[in-house]
Amino acid sequence: MWFLRINMSDRTHQFTEVPEKYKYFAGRALTSNLIADEVPPPAHPLGPNNKLVFSPGFMTGTSAPTSSRISVGGKSPLTGGIKESNAGTPWAWKIARMRIKALIVEGQPEDKGAFWGVVIGWDKEAEQPTLEWFDATEYAGQNAYDIYPKVYEKFEGRRISVCSIGLASEHAYGNAGVIFEDMSQRPSRYAGRGGLGSVMGSKGLKFILLDDSGAPGVEIVDKDLFDEGRKKMVAALQEHAITKPKGGLNTYGTAVLINILNEAGGLPTRNFASGRFEDAAKIAGEAIFEGNKKRLGKELYNHACSPGCIIRCSNTWHREDKTEHVSCVEYESDWAFGANLEINDLDVIAELIKLCNGYGLDTIETGVTLGVAMEAGVLPFGDGEAAIKMVHQMGKGEPMGRILGSGTGMAGKVLGVTRVPAVKGQGMPAYEPRAVKGIGITYATSTMGADHTAGYTIAPEILGVSAQLDPLSPEGKAALSRAFQATTAFIDSSGHCLFIAFAILDIESGFEGLIEEANGVLGTSWTADDVVNFGTEVLKVERKFNEAAGFSKEEDRIPEFMHTEPLPPHNVVFEIDDETLDKVYGEI
């Protein structure tokens, strides 16, 4: 196993052995520990002292199902705190199979205009990875959909996987994701949140290409135990209604949640002015499935975003003429550009998603920021054409585009808006905190800013997974969020997609499988308690970094307007007091 350090100040690199301290870390645990250990908390996120770390999970690159996630970590230009954002992509699978446990990008070139790429390969004789540099300046200033084919072509004959940044990162936006290829070489898999693409851009690094030909694959200490765990995990995923083949996710994609959240009164609509969107059904996962069926003349089930995924929730939206419009229309993106902007047209939503993919923008942050711009009167609610124009302005770096590209919290300040749905500057995802209290607690207290994936209490609060809790009740939700945040930090370190959570929460053998997989790969003898403890330790490291970077508990708050403005249809406010919020990490 290797650490690969790339120094952009002088364009040198170094493969080193993994220090003992980090041996049992991977994914988020490793990115967060490395950032906490090596980045001074007051460092400017776009300066030479910030670092960008890539790390696949424990199970990534193995045959464990749905485990091809790559964690990207750094100090976030969006939140000003530590950030881990992960994506499912073949790139994750390959870097793991090349036994690179962490890729650490350091320093900063003096020349601000130049961009570079690296190709990481495998030297079979030396039995170690290799690295080549190439000048990537010619690829700057272009749409990702245009440059990806050129890059595959440039390295024709090699099995190249692409990680890159887009224009948003070249503009140094707080809203700029790290882009990864999907299974069909689309620039559509994002470590989207928190502006980590701009950290990569600030270092002049445009591409990280992988060629894993000849790579040895992941070392597994106890193959039998691993296999036992893997089988339990596969069985659980194939059994659970949400994750099974032709189940909820495979049929309708994540957008299956649109109707469910709308029914629950928790689908944020018109910049979080209501929890119900009158046209929800027109943009729901069911409408995507039916729309494709009508246009293609056949049923289309979803595909995998990365090798080894058996959930396969990624959809593709097609135009009237049967050509592909975009892949994929996720729930969050669909909502951000749909209900949140009062847009009810899937073709418009698909176009907005495609623009974000092409420009290197996070769809959630973009949609939530556009909602704030609509609130400010910059463009009208419901005006899809104006929204499309505005995203072009973002991609092109025009002044209003820069305002919106800076992210929800910042744009809200620049535009003088008081109704800004953000925590720690990061825009809120597709669940209304007033209507679903537990997720509100996660938004408020997560080390990541407003992030649904940091502690997805939607599972028990809305989906009845593991339990059926009343979403409107604050009862026990602080403890719930804390437990979910800890377990999530483990899952984010495992390389598994968070969607295994449904199966492991509901099916005991699935959870056993997760632990056995980990113990099999690592040679550990972790128990269920260790999973929570492991995650808790990750959260502590992140929290400590954030405190040293200047976060006080007053930043663990839901915006003022959600405390005072009742949300239709339930006409509820976010009534959870500061003391309760402070207990989430206070009692960790």
Task: For residue 382, give the nearest of 340, 429, 431, 421 by alpha carbon.
Answer: 340
Looking at the Cβ atoms of 198 and 306, the one nearer to a second copy is: 198
Alpha-carbon gap, residue 438 to 462, rounded angstroms = 10
Which residues, at least 6 apart from 540, have a Cβ–Cβ distance to it below 8 Å?
588
Looking at the Cβ atoms of 157 and 399, the one nearer to a second copy is: 399
Which residues, at least 6 apart from 132, have a Cβ–Cβ distance to it below 8 Å?
118, 119, 121
* Contact present, 63 and 81 (Cβ < 8 Å): no
| Helix, strand or coil, per DSSP, at residue 222 | coil
- Whether the bond into 328 is cis, omega within 30 of 0: yes
* Contact present, 188 and 70 (Cβ < 8 Å): no
CB of 578 to a second copy, least distance (A): 9
CB of 373 to a second copy, least distance (A): 11
Looking at the Cβ atoms of 323 and 418, the one nearer to a second copy is: 418
CB of 116 to a second copy, least distance (A): 19
Looking at the Cβ atoms of 233 and 410, the one nearer to a second copy is: 410
Looking at the Cβ atoms of 370 and 415, the one nearer to a second copy is: 415
CB of 538 to a second copy, least distance (A): 22
* Contact present, 563 and 575 (Cβ < 8 Å): yes
Roughly what angle, to the nearest 10 degrees, separates helices 477-494 and 528-548? 100
Looking at the Cβ atoms of 160 and 410, the one nearer to a second copy is: 410
Question: Where in 350-457 does DSSP place strands (E)?
Answer: 422-423, 426-427
- Residue ranges binding a second copy (CB under 8 A): 41-44, 46-47, 49, 77, 171-174, 198, 202, 398-400, 402-403, 406, 410, 413-416, 418, 547-552, 554-555, 557, 559-561
* Contact present, 330 and 352 (Cβ < 8 Å): no
Q: Which tokens is 102 given?
A: 């962490």
Alpha-carbon gap, residue 405 to 168, rounded angstroms = 7
Looking at the Cβ atoms of 19 and 399, the one nearer to a second copy is: 399
Alpha-carbon gap, residue 306 to 197, rounded angstroms = 20
CB of 423 to a second copy, least distance (A): 12
Looking at the Cβ atoms of 185 and 393, the one nearer to a second copy is: 393
Q: Which tokens is 515 given?
A: 């632990």
Amino acid at 249: L
Alpha-carbon gap, residue 80 to 75, rounded angstroms = 6
CB of 201 to a second copy, least distance (A): 9
Alpha-carbon gap, residue 459 to 498, rounded angstroms = 11
Looking at the Cβ atoms of 101 and 557, the one nearer to a second copy is: 557
CB of 567 to a second copy, least distance (A): 17
Looking at the Cβ atoms of 108 and 306, the one nearer to a second copy is: 108
CB of 181 to a second copy, least distance (A): 26
Looking at the Cβ atoms of 323 and 552, the one nearer to a second copy is: 552
Burial of 19: CB neighbours in 10 Å, binned 0-12, 13-18, 19+: exposed
Which residues, at least 6 apart from 574, have a Cβ–Cβ distance to it below 8 Å?
433, 434, 437, 440, 558, 562, 563
Task: For residue 118, give the nearest of 8, 1, 2 by alpha carbon.
Answer: 8
Pairing assessment for the beta strands 128-135 and 189-191 based on DSSP bridges:
unpaired
Alpha-carbon gap, residue 20 to 455, rounded angstroms = 29
Which residues, at least 6 apart from 119, have a Cβ–Cβ distance to it below 8 Å?
131, 132, 134, 155, 158, 160, 209, 210, 211
* Contact present, 518 and 235 (Cβ < 8 Å): no
Looking at the Cβ atoms of 131 and 400, the one nearer to a second copy is: 400
CB of 553 to a second copy, least distance (A): 8
* Contact present, 433 and 422 (Cβ < 8 Å): no
Alpha-carbon gap, residue 235 to 240, rounded angstroms = 9
Looking at the Cβ atoms of 19 and 416, the one nearer to a second copy is: 416
CB of 14 to a second copy, least distance (A): 23
Looking at the Cβ atoms of 79 and 302, the one nearer to a second copy is: 79
Looking at the Cβ atoms of 15 and 561, the one nearer to a second copy is: 561
Task: For residue 104, give the nearest of 150, 37, 194 by alpha carbon.
Answer: 37
CB of 229 to a second copy, least distance (A): 43
CB of 48 to a second copy, least distance (A): 8
CB of 417 to a second copy, least distance (A): 8
CB of 562 to a second copy, least distance (A): 11
CB of 386 to a second copy, least distance (A): 14
Task: For residue 275, give the nearest of 572, 587, 482 by alpha carbon.
Answer: 572
Q: How many CB atoms lie within 10 A of CB 543?
A: 20
State the virtual CA torsion across 25, 28, 34, 36 in degrees, nearest 10: -120
